[in-house]
């Protein structure tokens, strides 16, 4: 069984938070579409790396999967380049570990580049979903801040 995946992320440098997402397809039908908010990420590249990692991990969980073809709009995440990169970040290390585990279980992972904003239906969908979830999260956090009065560092009173 082959699963096709598309991943993308939307990153907010000011808040060091990203919305990382993916869509998994089986026989042309969506089987999973997921966006997660991740804090503490310090670059767009790392948010994209995290999105690729969670897409592969989720696709790997489907029984009978033998191949995962993942499309990302980050050219630097081409498979050959990943193997040559140092494990200098948690995100890159997690991706390399995920690829190695998939390989150990006989699941072939192919990473392909898809041009961003190129009218690819699924790439656009995960791009828009990630962006919208990030905006929703940031708006919620902003509204939450405006409702909170802070006395001292350990005191927080909701009004």
Per-residue pLDDT, averaged over 76-86, amounts to: 57
- The pLDDT-based confidence of 153 (bands split at 50, 70, 90) is very low
| CA–CA gap between residue 10 and residue 44 (Å, rounded) | 7
Ranges of H-type helices in the chain: 44-60, 79-84, 90-104, 121-146
DSSP string spanning 5-36?
EEEEEEEETTTTEEEEEEEEEETTEEEEEEEE
**pLDDT of 121-143, one tens digit each?**
888 888 888 889 888 888 877 65
pTM of the model: 0.80
Annotated domain spans of the chain: 2-158
pLDDT tens by residue, 6-24: 999 988 888 888 889 999 9
In this model, does residue 34 exceed pLDDT 70? Answer: yes
Is the Cβ–Cβ distance between 15 and 131 less than 8 Å? Answer: no
Q: CATH topology for 2-158? A: Nucleotidyltransferase; domain 5 (3.30.420)
- Residue 149: pLDDT above 60? no
- In whole angstroms, how far apart are CA 86 and each of 9, 46, 91, 99, 124? 22, 14, 11, 14, 30
The answer to whether the beta carbons of residues 67 and 107 sit under 8 Å apart is: yes
């Amino acid at each position: 069984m082959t699963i096709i995946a598309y991943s993308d992320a939307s990153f907010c440098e000011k808040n060091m938070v990203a919305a990382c997402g993916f869509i998994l397809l089986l026989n042309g039908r969506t089987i999973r579409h997921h966006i997660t908010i991740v804090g503490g990420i310090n670059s767009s590249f790392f948010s994209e790396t995290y999105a690729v990692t969670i897409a592969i991990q989720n696709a790997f969980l489907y029984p009978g999967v033998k191949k995962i073809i993942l499309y990302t709009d980050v050219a630097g995440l081409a498979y050959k380049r990943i193997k040559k990169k140092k494990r200098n970040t948690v995100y890159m290390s997690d991706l390399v570990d995920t690829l190695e585990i998939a390989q150990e279980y006989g699941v072939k992972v192919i990473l392909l580049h898809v041009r961003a904003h190129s009218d690819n239906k699924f790439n656009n969908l995960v791009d828009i979903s990630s962006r919208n979830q990030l905006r929703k999260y940031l708006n919620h956090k902003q509204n939450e801040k405006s409702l909170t009065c802070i006395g001292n560092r350990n005191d927080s009173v909701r009004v």
